[in-house]
Amino acid sequence: MSSTLHCITAADISTAAEVIAGHAVRTPVMTSRQADHIVGAELFFKCENFQRVGAFKFRGAYNAIAQLSEAQRRAGVIAFSSGNHAQAMALAARELGVNATIVMPHDAPAAKLAATRGYGANVVIYQRHREDREEITQRLAAEQGLTLVPPYDYPQVIAGQGTAAKELFEDAGPLDVLLVCTGGGGLLAGSAVAARHWSPGCRVYGVEPEAGNDVQQAFLRGEPVRIPVPKTLADGAQTQQVGRLTFPIIQDYVEGILTVSDAQLCRQMRFFMERMKMVVEPTGCLAAAAAMNALLDLRGKKVGVIVSGGNVDVDKIGQYLALAGEN
């Protein structure tokens, strides 16, 4: 265990919980007898697909913008994101009376582009494979005096994301295992800090797509690993490298990183629709798929599963369900 001082503590998550109260939804914790039967465990699904903008990202975005100085809020915020962080920043900024500029790739899902514009943000498009989004973002931030709020590597974002796990422990009680999907690691790091404080002894695992297992590689190697943009349906976890701030927390507080195939994600999406009557995006299926495919021995345990989001192009659902038959 490293002795690094982490960028947040449980107290920051408690503060975030107060900041977002009445603005973010306290999402339901759902259960399924069928899922419990398949896994032989008691599963508690924390349903962030029912969060505002359809994903947990609203928690971190709202907490981050709300804690900026008056001068920073007057100047406005900027973010780069292929999806849910964009919508979350746009809506949180609008609610707090702050101008938002969002830098998005040309191939972001149409629904996500439209939603971001719909929340009143100024959207700047870049070519994912040719242009460097961070460079574009830094230039706009410098020119216009905007404050950059990154999607995961930022203390108030990590603390905000941790409020979902805090609520889960409050509602379900202490858990033996918590499964959390991971892209850049903001949700996982925040959840791990929450687990340590509100459910000591709970073992936390990260889950990522098989095709983009940079966090798993980093975890095993002990340092961040950079990978090419992974080809996976889990577009919320297409990150190329774990965060600089999130990684030390993951190293210290997380037991291991599991991986799930795209076909397993599609089968999980189908299960959520058929059995639990809810729409979950591929990335949001990662943690549940790890539980339902017995990647860990969960028998007899109380298991928390974070369902991270529900933003899926509805026109593509048929294709996804067709892929559920493959390996």
Catalytic annotation, residues: 57, 82
Do 164 and 191 touch, CB atoms closer than 8 A?
Answer: yes
**Which amino acid appears at position 193 of this protein?**
V
Cβ burial 193-209 (10 Å sphere, 16+ → b, else e): bbbbbbbeebbbbbbbb
The binder of ligand PLP chosen from 84, 101, 163, 199 (CB under 6 A): 84
- Least separation in angstroms between CB 153 and ligand PLP: 9
- By beta carbon distance, the residue nearest ligand PLP is 309
Strands annotated E in 64-107 = 77-80, 100-105
55 binds ligand PLP (CB under 6 A): yes
- Cα angle 205, 207, 208 (rounded to 5 degrees) comes to 150
Q: Residues 213-232 vs ligand PLP: string with x where CB under 6 A?
A: --------------------
Nearer to ligand PLP, 183 or 230 (CB): 183
Grouping H, G, I as helix, E, B as strand and the rest as coil, residue 247 is: helix
- Number of CB atoms found within 10 A of residue 143's CB: 8
Q: Is 160 in the site for ligand PLP (CB under 6 A)?
A: no
Q: Output 73 or 283, the one with its CB closest to ligand PLP.
A: 283
Rule CB under 6 A: is residue 183 a binding residue for ligand PLP?
yes
The residue from 155, 160, 184, 224 that contacts ligand PLP (CB under 6 A) is 184
Q: Report the nearest approach of ligand PLP to the CB of residue 260 (Å).
A: 12
Q: Which residues pair with 122 in a beta bridge?
A: 101
Compute the chain's Rg from CA coordinates: 18
CB of 143 to ligand PLP, least distance (A): 27
DSSP category for residue 276: H
The token pair that represents 201 in the structure block = 């002894």
Using CB under 6 A, which residues numbered 90 to 149 contact ligand PLP? Answer: none
CA 315 to mean position of chain CA atoms: 23
Return the beta strands (E) in the chain as ranges. 29-30, 42-47, 77-80, 100-105, 122-126, 147-148, 177-181, 203-209, 256-260, 302-307
Residue of 6, 46, 52, 57 interacting with ligand PLP (CB under 6 A)? 57
If the CB atoms of residues 84 and 199 are measured against ligand PLP, the closer one turns out to be 84
Under the binding rule (CB under 6 A), the answer on residue 281 touching ligand PLP is yes
Least distance in angstroms from the C-beta of 249 to ligand PLP: 12
Give least dist CB 65 to ligand PLP, A. 17
- Identity of the residue, 105 or 309, whose beta carbon is nearer to ligand PLP in the bound complex: 309
* Contacts with ligand PLP, residue ranges (CB under 6 A): 55, 57, 84, 151-152, 161, 181-188, 236-237, 239, 281, 283-284, 308-309
